[in-house]
Amino acid sequence: MDLGVRSIRSSGAGSGSVEITLPAALRPLLGVPCRISLRDGHRPEIVLTPDFRPAISAFADLWAKLSVALGAECCSGGLPIGEFVVSLGPTKEQGAASLALLDGLALAGAPPHDPAPFARVTAGLATRLALALEIDPDLAREFAAATAHVVTGIVNSTSCREICDIVAAMLRPMRVEAGSAFARLGEDAASPALWRELAGPLQAVRAHFLAWSRNPIERHTLGAAWRRGLSLELKEH
């Protein structure tokens, strides 16, 4: 990825230090330690390697908490990072178990945590967990979106609005409002109290998706009812 050209300049006469302005796309790396190395030769390269260990640690912590909350005992062996599509920033890759390192850095910091990166990481982890939970692969993306919605209150994309609304309605008898626990408990993605409170709703979501995996017609029927309801609502306005 070509991020353009910047000039090296002195940060002050006699200071001995130099500066280079990085592109705006790399602004989230502010404060991240970087290893500097020189690749010498006829075309020398100065390489900055950011330390993303805090991001990976945040992913692993959330993987463990989400696995327990969903009752996925088979995933207690640690985060299988090699099975994810990992990128610097969020991607629009559909259906993949993807994680963005910048999202991980956002969650590695102190709370309050931004719900948007929290939702993306939760969805990425849940996409992979869907397979371990024996949810139909065709439903994995919807399961991920619904899980992220219940945890954070965020709908990751307009295409996921249907399933998020359906699951929210199903959880209403449990007096569960999507994202309410996260907001009430200080927007702390790593809070043990948050994940204890989410265990019941998330296992209910798991049960619904397992039922739909066995009986896809039920899912299609719910979707048709949702679309009819939305159509009537639009006509009223």
Which residue is listed with tokens 């908490």?
A: 65
Is residue 1 in some structural domain?
A: no
Q: How confident is the model at residue 38 (pLDDT cuts 50, 70, 90)?
A: very high
Average pLDDT over residues 126-140: 95
Q: How confident is the model at residue 234 (pLDDT cuts 50, 70, 90)?
A: very low
Question: Is 110 in the same domain as 171?
Answer: yes
Question: Is 123 in the same domain as 89?
Answer: yes
**Pairing verdict, β 85-87 and 45-50:** unpaired
Q: Kindly tell me if the per-residue pLDDT of 159 is higher than 70.
A: yes
Is residue 186 in some structural domain?
A: yes
Among candidates 123, 232, 219, which has minimal Cα distance to 167?
Answer: 219
Predicted pLDDT at 75: 73
Predicted pLDDT at 73: 76
How far, in Å, CA of 81 to CA of 75, rounded?
A: 12
Question: Is 108 in the same domain as 13?
Answer: no
Q: Kindly tell me if the per-residue pLDDT of 162 is higher than 50.
A: yes
Question: Is 71 in the same domain as 185?
Answer: yes
What range defines the domain where residue 45 resides?
9-50
Question: Is 38 in the same domain as 84?
Answer: no
How many structural domains does the chain have? 2
How far, in Å, CA of 126 to CA of 20, rounded?
A: 39
Share of the chain above pLDDT 90, in %: 75
pLDDT for 192-216, tens place per residue?
A: 999 999 999 999 999 999 999 999 9
Among candidates 123, 158, 134, 128, which has minimal Cα distance to 212?
Answer: 134
Q: Kindly tell me if the per-residue pLDDT of 72 is higher than 90.
A: no
Structure tokens at 187: 């927007």
> What are the b/e assignments for 4-19, b being 16+ CB within 10 Å?
eeeeeeeeeeeeeeee
Question: Is 43 in the same domain as 84?
Answer: no
Question: Is 84 in the same domain as 193?
Answer: yes
Predicted pLDDT at 42: 95
Question: Is 40 in the same domain as 62?
Answer: no
Contact in structure between 130 and 143 (CB atoms under 8 Å): yes
Residue predicted with more confidence, 54 or 94 = 54
Contact in structure between 125 and 117 (CB atoms under 8 Å): no
Q: How confident is the model at residue 160 (pLDDT cuts 50, 70, 90)?
A: very high
Is residue 2 in some structural domain?
A: no
How far, in Å, CA of 133 to CA of 136, rounded?
A: 9
Question: Is 26 in the same domain as 61?
Answer: no
Q: Kindly tell me if the per-residue pLDDT of 52 is higher than 90.
A: yes
Contacts of 145 (CB under 8 A, 6+ apart): 123, 155, 156, 157, 160, 163, 164
Q: Kindly tell me if the per-residue pLDDT of 57 is higher than 80.
A: yes
At residue 203, φ and ψ (nearest 5 deg) are -70, -25
- Tell me the whole-structure pTM to 2 decimals: 0.90
Question: Is 63 in the same domain as 29?
Answer: no
Predicted pLDDT at 5: 86
Q: How confident is the model at residue 237 (pLDDT cuts 50, 70, 90)?
A: very low
Predicted pLDDT at 20: 85
Is residue 4 in some structural domain?
A: no
Report the chain's mean pLDDT, rounded to a whole number: 91
Average pLDDT over residues 15-43: 88
Question: Is 155 in the same domain as 171?
Answer: yes
Structure tokens at 46: 């100065």
